[in-house]
Each structure stands twice: as C-alpha cells, then as structure tokens.
Amino acid sequence: MSDDKDIQKLPTDSDSVRERKRIFLDSYSEVGTVSEAALTVGMKRHSVFMWVKRDDQFAKEFEESKKAFAEKLEGIALDLVNQMKENKDYKHPTLLITLLNANNPAKYRGTAEVDNTARDFIAGLRRVSKESRELPEQNNDNVGIIPYQGAKEAIQKKFGSLKNGNADSD
C-alpha cells in the first residue's frame, strides 16, 4: 500500500494527468491490482476505468502493464518450481496457479471444446414437435405418427441411419 505522503507529492492540475497515468501504470505492473495502484495516484479505481474507456492509448498501455505483472508472476512461479526442485519438496502452489490463470489465461487456463450436437438435436426435435402441433388435424390415427416421422427424419439428416451404424439402411 502507498503512504499518504506519496499521494500528497503527486501533481493535481489538469496538465499532470499524463504523469498520473504513467505513475499508475508503473505501479500496476508491480502490485497487480487496480485499487492499490490507483492509491499511488490518489484516486479511486473507478477513475482508472474511465481512463481506459476514454483514452485508447492508456487502454493499450494498461494492457501492457497487465502483461508485465503476469510476467512477474511467471517469474515467481519459475522461482518457486526451482526452489521445490532443489528442496525435493513438491508442494501444490494453488494460489500461484490461480493468479497465473487470472493474469494470463490464454497460456495457463485449460481449454475445452464445446460440442453443440446434442443441444442442436434437441432444438430440432422441439421444432419438429411444435410444427406437428400446428398442422391441421386431418386424421386422428396419424397424429401420433407425424412427430415421430419428423423426429426420425431430423435424426437421419443429422446422424444418418439409426440401424447398426449403417448410413445406407433405413
């Protein structure tokens, strides 16, 4: 945290905004939190987000500061791994992993591919069911067959045949 003395030394006139932004960015790359870095320039975190929103250059520099902090965490992680190796004490550094995930998710967070086949299939069945309910009743004997036939056609269109995995059979 910053001392009140540090905050009082900062210039406050409108010409010094650029300097305050630079001080904030330098601080952020060291401390890694908007709140604490904002204290170094005597402001609230909301003001920082307004800078990001209104100043494209500051927004780019803020992203660079985030990357610098992530690299600092990466260095800590590597030091910790080396220390564990030297001591043959392999702890699970959950907090550090969490921080790495938060600050560099593209590199440290696992990825999962989402397959929407089942969701699309169910949506198709619902659509077919809705369409069949909207059809005028022609013959009461066929009412129960229409949804089944539509569902069967939708399944065959999406997956091929339903028998023995043979796409050619009905």
Q: What is the CATH number of the domain that holds 48?
A: 1.10.10
pTM of the model: 0.51
**Residue 137 gets which letter from DSSP?**
P
What is the model's pLDDT at position 87?
A: 83
Asked if the model's pLDDT at residue 144 lies above 90, the reply is no
Closest CA to 152 of 121, 118, 131, 117: 121
Same domain, 46 and 101: yes
Asked if the model's pLDDT at residue 7 lies above 70, the reply is no
Asked if the model's pLDDT at residue 8 lies above 50, the reply is no
The mean predicted confidence, pLDDT, of the chain is 76
Q: Read off the pLDDT of each residue in 54-59 and give the average, rounded to a whole number.
A: 93
**C-alpha–C-alpha distance, residues 10 and 42, integer Å:** 8
What is the model's pLDDT at position 168?
A: 47
Q: Read off the pLDDT of each residue in 93-110 and give the average, rounded to a whole number.
A: 76
**C-alpha–C-alpha distance, residues 15 and 56, integer Å:** 18
3-class state of residue 24 by DSSP:
helix
Q: Which amino acid is at 57?
A: Q
Closest CA to 16 of 42, 35, 36: 42
Same domain, 150 and 100: no
* Number of structural domains the chain divides into: 2
Q: How many CA atoms lie within 13 A of 17 on its CB side?
A: 8
What do you get for the CA distance between the two ends of the chain, in Å?
72
Are 15 and 25 a contacting pair, CB within 8 Å? no
What range does the domain containing 148 cover? Answer: 117-159
Read off the pLDDT of residues 117-141 as tens digits, 9 standing for 90 and up: 777 888 887 887 777 777 665 555 5
Question: Which residues, other chains included, contact 1 with Cβ-Cβ below 8 Å and sequence gap of 6+?
Answer: 36, 39
- What value, to the nearest 5°, has the Cα angle with vertex 3 and ends 74 and 10? 95
Is there a domain that residue 168 lies in?
A: no
